[in-house]
């Protein structure tokens, strides 16, 4: 704990001694894997689980004999939900600990903050969370969903199955919701939705008084057209939002809410009985009925010694990303970043929903898209899913300045923002 | 009279038809069995519609179970049952008779899936079925559902129901439902005009929604009437929405008041900048969580009382924590503001991380007792019960605290120590103990606030951080050292915030409020109710 500086110093010293000791002893026989997730601060609520997931995966892999005949060793650091600290810790992991790959980050702002570090030091980052797209970087593998793997199918579902004509785009005020809503707005307008039928609303992080906004949504929904809410509300603000929805009597049958940031973990803090029927779009649900998933949940619960522990989508993304990395390293025969970057494209591993996910040349992966409805037991029930796998589209086709862009990290193109119209690499979002 | 007789006849036939419905049980079973074969929601809906078409009370049971997701298919033989979850197993019962059919494992049965569209369709079907129910409340609910989801084909059924209805309230609801259905139908203009009048007279959001939809497709006189009715409803709603905003402001203000009132004592009266104040709120919320857990596992009957049980406990827990902090840290730092600030900030980090280590970083579920859930309508205002009780509770806490400060011996001593410490000490007041108890009281009040806030916010280790800044703003704005100032400050901040929000949005609204406070503090550095006299110098 951080209460006393003396104890802090002492324990830091002890830790350093331990780390150095183990380094000296184990330098030759282990491959180090960095885990860069906040264990304190506001994001700890979501990211701690991912740290546990990584420890679990590494443990499982070691039981199978490790990688390239060596055991894996996790190096866990705590960037404390502090964005600049993410960059610092990433540098520490690559330079000091010499990790072969890093699994980490949650918020887009933390990813943006570590990008230059990974580029400069040529590290590998596996990023497991759904994000706004408009990015493809040589050293980063995006195992979460791009907007076309989550937001767009969800909107399609509402439009086709529920006949929604009026849209509320509600989000937390930061880069992911804003970019996603920009894409969605362009997409909806391209489908013939009039601008007056779209209401965009932003709220601060951790917003807890939703009375006015829920009333606004109710009023917006009483214009005689079927209305739905597309929510990119993040983390903590969701619980009071859903409570207010339930208390004001907004039922999913009348105004459904489809959320992109609400998973099993977020629902754990809620009584979901009044929320039955509200939706979420992900690439994985704990309730997915496949033998792979069942085995995974069982092993995960055994590892955490908690038979109620839930699983969620970013966890599955880490499972896929980690297995891809293991496979790519074995294919390349080394953990050298350059070799892994070359060998990982095209690597295919089973995902937990019964199919295979493949790493594509744009460093995004193929995934199925599932739409689930909240159930009274806090789980989601899949009510619709894409017939096949969807390839992550890094540069949205619906934004005017990114529709000509593609990313392909294979030689000879080897570019994250190739403009098809001008035939040049670069131009936008040089990261 | 004739109508009554017709009704009597109809009833007679309904009873007479009873046995034939039972005779058709085989047919019903055949339809129910088709749920097992439905491949998608549309097919399930088609089966449900056919089932509803046969009528009869058994159908109601099946459809209600389906809409609640309680209809299961046994995997071994494809038979359809109603199931209730019982731990890891599912209790199956016969869909038509309700007779028990034994327990099965979750993997042995497959749920008949339902989605929103299907649930909506089922709600309408059930509405039509319960229209002639013997229960007044069920009929009223059915009429209201049919009003919200009008269907032109239901008009004959509604006409029959209106004719048979005896209770005036239900009759009115049925008439409105019929009017709504008429708006969707292709009935003659005169009928539609009458319907517009009837719907417009309701003057609420639902009516507005129906009329707007109708006006879009209508033409001629009925369109004009609809537009006029919409304008009428709109202007009525505008007034109500202003009232609604003020209520939301009061509600936000009472949350601020709850969070800040403890601080008004520690910071306002004692002058200690207590950064760990938010964590006292968090301790109160976690106490509620623990109490609810114990209640759930050991005394499930007491759940409705869990908050009442949690209140004194939260008071004690947070009070003791406050006492320990004061005795252990703050008493060595009186008069050294910066050090106090840093030390209490450290304490707040320790408490957060301790809670995170003990309870985990994720949100904990604190349930709302039934009297804290849902809401009620006051005219066109919707007021949720949890907000309503929090307003009441905040004012009660304020009143009690005011009483303690003004009329008890302890309160007198507290005020004496604040006004002039040396003089109070020479009068025989043990000032160190008064300090400790005052700080403990401030913390305990924060703990009590935590019980209330657990009902509307996340119970997570970060709970307190969300409130600490707002609390300081309220106390500084209201005037340090004045409880009334805290009340007025909290309420005016809440109301200004909520009046700005519809126009400026939540983000900009908050910024504007902060900017206003900065300007205000420039003008009146001591807040709304500036302390006067010697106390200012101490």
Interface of B with A in 172-231 (CB under 8 A): 205-206, 208-214, 216
Percent of chain A exceeding pLDDT 90 equals 59
Mutate to test the interface with B, among A247, A286, A304, A385 (most CBs of B within 10 A): A247
Chain-chain contact of A45 with B248 (C-beta, under 8 angstroms): no
Residue A313 to residue B285: CA distance in whole angstroms: 29
Mutate to test the interface with A, among B456, B498, B501, B511 (most CBs of A within 10 A): B456
Rounded to the nearest 5 percent, the helix, strand and coil shares of chain A are: 40, 20, 40
What value does the CA radius of gyration of chain A take, rounded to a whole number of Å?
A: 22
Q: Are B241 and A216 in contact (CB under 8 A)?
A: no
Mutate to test the interface with A, among B110, B354, B462 (most CBs of A within 10 A): B462
Query: Could you report the per-residue pLDDT of B211-251, keeping only the tens digit for each?
Result: 888 887 777 788 888 888 888 888 888 888 889 999 999 99
Compute the half-sphere exposure of residue A72: CA atoms within 13 Å on the CB side of its CA: 29
Mean pLDDT of A68-89: 93
Q: Would you call A268 an interface residue with chain B, using a CB distance cutoff of 8 Å? A: yes
DSSP string, A345-375: TT-EEE-TTSSEEEB-TTSBBEE--EEEEE-
Chain-chain contact of B387 with A254 (C-beta, under 8 angstroms): no
What value does the CA radius of gyration of chain B take, rounded to a whole number of Å?
A: 31
pLDDT of residue B480: 78
Which of A241-245, A319-323, A396-400 tops mean pLDDT?
A: A319-323
pLDDT of residue B158: 84
Residues of chain B with pLDDT under 50: 1, 3-4, 6-23, 534-538
Higher pLDDT, A327 or A308: A327
Q: Are A206 and A14 in contact (CB under 8 A)?
A: no
Dihedral sign from CA coordinates of B409, B414, B418, B420: positive
What residues have CB less than 8 Å from A46, skipping those under 6 apart? A106, A235, A265, A314
Respond yes or no on whether the N-terminal peptide bond of residue A352 is cis (omega within 30° of 0): no
Query: Judging by DSSP bridges, how do beta strands B109-111 and A424-425 pair with one another?
Result: unpaired
Q: How far is CA A290 from CA A287, B107, B399, in A?
A: 9, 12, 59
Per CB-CB distance under 8 Å, the chain A contacts of B116 are 162, 252-253, 256, 277, 279, 373
Chain-chain contact of B460 with A269 (C-beta, under 8 angstroms): yes
Burial of A5 (0-12, 13-18, 19+ CB in 10 A): exposed
pLDDT of residue B36: 85
The distance between the two most distant Cα atoms of chain A, rounded to a whole number of Å, is 71
| Range of lowest pLDDT (A9-13, A202-206, B36-40) | A9-13
Mean pLDDT of A310-338: 94
Interface of A with B in 2-31 (CB under 8 A): 2-3
DSSP A173: S
User: Which residue in the set B209, B505, B506 is minimally distant from A224, CB to CB?
Assistant: B209
* pLDDT value at A345 more than 80: yes
Query: Could you report the per-residue pLDDT of A375-419, keeping only the tens digit for each?
Result: 888 889 888 888 889 999 999 888 888 888 888 998 888 888 888
Global ipTM: 0.80
Residue B208 to residue A144: CA distance in whole angstroms: 42
pLDDT of residue B343: 94
User: Which residue in the set A203, A211, A224 is minimally distant from B248, CB to CB?
Assistant: A211
- Of A226, A253, A108, A125, give the one whose Cα is nearest residue A171: A108
* pLDDT value at A307 more than 90: no
| Nearest-neighbour CA in chain A from B331: distance (Å) | 18
Query: Could you report the per-residue pLDDT of A157-189, keeping only the tens digit for each?
Result: 999 888 899 999 999 988 889 999 999 999 999
Instruction: Pull the structure tokens for residue B360.
Output: 């985990």
pLDDT of residue A58: 96
Threshold 0.95, pTM exceeds? no
Interface of B with A in 16-55 (CB under 8 A): 41
pLDDT of residue A284: 95
Q: Would you call A171 an interface residue with chain B, using a CB distance cutoff of 8 Å? A: no
pLDDT of residue B43: 86
* pLDDT value at A429 more than 50: no
* pLDDT value at A26 more than 60: no
Per CB-CB distance under 8 Å, the chain B contacts of A212 are 245, 248, 498, 501-502, 506
Q: Would you call A95 an interface residue with chain B, using a CB distance cutoff of 8 Å? A: no
| Nearest-neighbour CA in chain B from A277: distance (Å) | 6
Q: Would you call B151 an interface residue with chain A, using a CB distance cutoff of 8 Å? A: no
* pLDDT value at A321 more than 90: yes
Mean pLDDT of A2-6: 42
Residue B433 to residue B330: CA distance in whole angstroms: 13
What residues have CB less than 8 Å from B89, skipping those under 6 apart? B103, B104, B105, B106
Q: Are A170 and A250 in contact (CB under 8 A)?
A: no
Q: Are A283 and A333 in contact (CB under 8 A)?
A: no
Mean pLDDT of A206-219: 89
pLDDT of residue A1: 36
Residue B250 to residue B202: CA distance in whole angstroms: 27
Burial of B33 (0-12, 13-18, 19+ CB in 10 A): middle
pLDDT of residue B300: 85
| 3-class state of residue A425 by DSSP | strand
Q: Are A292 and A354 in contact (CB under 8 A)?
A: yes
Name the band, by pLDDT with cuts 50, 70 and 90, for residue A3.
Answer: very low
> What mean pLDDT value characterizes chain A?
87
* pLDDT value at A21 more than 70: no
| Nearest-neighbour CA in chain A from B199: distance (Å) | 14
pLDDT of residue A427: 55
If you count them, how many residues does chain A have? 431
Residue entry with tokens 């085989």? B26
Beta bridge partners of A384: A371
pLDDT of residue A24: 43
Per CB-CB distance under 8 Å, the chain A contacts of B209 are 221-224
């Amino acid at each position: 704990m951080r209460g006393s500086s003396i104890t802090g110093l002492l324990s830091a010293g002890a830790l350093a001694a331990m780390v150095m000791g183990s380094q000296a002893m184990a330098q030759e026989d282990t491959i180090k894997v960095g885990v860069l997730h906040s264990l304190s601060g506001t994001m700890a609520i979501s990211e701690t689980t991912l740290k546990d997931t990584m420890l679990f995966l590494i443990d499982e892999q070691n039981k199978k004999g490790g990688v390239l005949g060596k055991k894996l060793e996790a190096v866990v650091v705590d960037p404390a939900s502090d964005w600049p600290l993410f960059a610092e810790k990433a540098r520490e992991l690559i330079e000091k600990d010499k990790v072969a790959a890093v699994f980490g980050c949650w918020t887009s702002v933390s990813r943006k903050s570590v990008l230059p570090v990974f580029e400069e030091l040529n590290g590998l980052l596996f990023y497991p969370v759904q994000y706004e797209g408009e990015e493809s970087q040589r050293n980063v593998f995006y195992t979460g969903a791009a907007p076309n793997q989550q937001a767009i199918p969800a909107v399609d579902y509402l439009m086709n199955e529920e006949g929604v004509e009026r849209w509320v785009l509600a989000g937390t005020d930061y880069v992911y919701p804003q970019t996603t809503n920009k894409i969605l707005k362009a997409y909806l307008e391209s489908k013939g939705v009039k601008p007056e039928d779209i209401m965009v609303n932003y709220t601060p992080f951790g917003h807890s008084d939703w009375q006015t906004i829920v009333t606004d949504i109710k009023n917006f929904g009483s214009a005689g057209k079927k209305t739905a809410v597309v929510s990119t509300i993040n983390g903590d603000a969701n619980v009071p939002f859903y409570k207010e929805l339930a208390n004001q009597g907004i039922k999913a049958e009348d105004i459904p809410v489809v959320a992109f940031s609400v998973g099993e973990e977020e629902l754990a803090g809620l009584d979901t009985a009044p929320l039955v029927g509200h939706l979420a779009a992900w690439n994985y649900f704990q309730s997915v009925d496949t033998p792979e998933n069942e085995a995974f949940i069982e092993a995960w619960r055994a590892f955490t010694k908690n038979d109620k522990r839930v699983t969620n989508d970013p966890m599955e993304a880490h499972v896929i990303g980690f297995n891809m990395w293991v496979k790519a390293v074995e294919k390349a025969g080394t953990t050298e970043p350059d070799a892994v970057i070359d060998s990982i494209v095209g690597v295919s591993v089973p995902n937990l929903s019964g199919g295979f996910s493949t790493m594509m040349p744009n460093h995004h992966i193929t995934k199925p898209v599932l739409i689930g409805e909240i159930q009274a037991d806090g789980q989601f029930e899949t009510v619709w899913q894409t017939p096949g796998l969807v390839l992550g589209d890094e540069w949205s086709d619906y934004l005017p300045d990114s529709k000509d862009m593609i990313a392909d990290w294979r030689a000879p193109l080897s570019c994250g923002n190739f403009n098809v119209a001008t035939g040049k690499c670069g131009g936008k979002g040089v990261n | 009279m004739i109508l009554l007789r017709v009704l009597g006849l109809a009833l007679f036939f309904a009873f007479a038809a009873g046995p034939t419905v039972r005779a058709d049980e085989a047919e019903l079973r055949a339809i129910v069995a088709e749920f097992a074969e439905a491949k998608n929601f549309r097919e399930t809906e088609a089966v449900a519609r056919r089932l509803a078409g046969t009528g009869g009370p058994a159908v109601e049971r099946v459809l209600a179970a389906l809409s609640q997701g309680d209809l299961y298919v046994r995997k071994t033989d494809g038979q359809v049952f109603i199931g209730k979850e019982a731990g890891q197993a599912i209790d199956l019962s016969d869909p038509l008779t309700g007779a028990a059919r034994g327990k099965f494992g979750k993997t042995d049965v497959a749920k008949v899936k339902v989605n929103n569209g299907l649930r909506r369709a089922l709600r309408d079907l059930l509405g039509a079925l319960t229209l002639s129910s013997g229960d007044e409340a069920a009929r009223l609910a059915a009429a209201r559902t049919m009003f919200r989801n009008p269907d032109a084909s239901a008009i004959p059924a509604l006409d029959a129901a209106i004719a048979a209805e005896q209770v005036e309230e239900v009759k009115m609801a049925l008439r409105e439902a019929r009017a709504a259905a008429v708006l969707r139908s292709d009935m003659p203009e005169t009928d539609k005009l009458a319907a517009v009048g009837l719907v417009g007279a309701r003057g609420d959001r639902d009516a507005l929604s129906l009329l707007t939809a109708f006006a879009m497709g209508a033409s001629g006189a009925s369109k004009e009437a609809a537009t006029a009715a919409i304008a009428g409803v709109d202007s009525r709603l505008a007034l109500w929405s202003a009232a609604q905003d003020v209520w939301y402001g009061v509600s936000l203000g009472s949350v601020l008041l709850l969070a800040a009132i403890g601080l008004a004592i520690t910071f306002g009266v004692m002058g200690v900048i207590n950064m760990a104040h938010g964590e006292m709120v968090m301790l109160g919320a976690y106490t509620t969580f623990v109490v609810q857990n114990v209640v759930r596992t050991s005394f499930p009957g007491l759940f409705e009382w869990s908050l009442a049980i949690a209140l004194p406990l939260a008071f004690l827990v947070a009070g003791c924590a406050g006492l320990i902090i004061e005795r252990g840290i703050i008493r060595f730092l009186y008069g050294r503001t910066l050090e106090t600030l840093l030390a209490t900030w450290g304490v707040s980090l320790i408490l957060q991380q301790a809670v995170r280590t003990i309870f985990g970083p994720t949100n904990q579920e604190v349930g709302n007792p039934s009297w804290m859930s849902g809401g009620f309508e006051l005219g066109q205002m919707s007021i949720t019960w949890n907000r309503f009780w929090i307003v009441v509770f905040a004012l009660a806490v304020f009143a009690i605290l005011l009483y303690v400060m003004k009329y008890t011996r302890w309160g007198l001593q507290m005020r004496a120590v604040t006004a002039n410490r040396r003089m109070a000490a020479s009068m025989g007041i043990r000032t160190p103990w008064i300090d400790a108890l005052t700080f403990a009281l401030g913390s305990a009040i924060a703990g009590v606030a935590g019980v209330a806030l657990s009902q509307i916010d996340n119970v997570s280790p970060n709970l307190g951080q969300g409130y600490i800044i707002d609390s300081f703003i309220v106390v500084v704005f209201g005037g340090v050292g004045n409880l009334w100032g805290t009340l007025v400050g909290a309420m005016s901040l809440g109301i200004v915030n909520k009046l700005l929000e519809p126009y400026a949005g939540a983000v900009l609204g908050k910024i504007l409020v902060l900017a206003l406070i900065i300007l205000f503090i420039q003008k009146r550095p001591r807040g709304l109710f500036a302390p006067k006299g010697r106390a200012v110098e101490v």
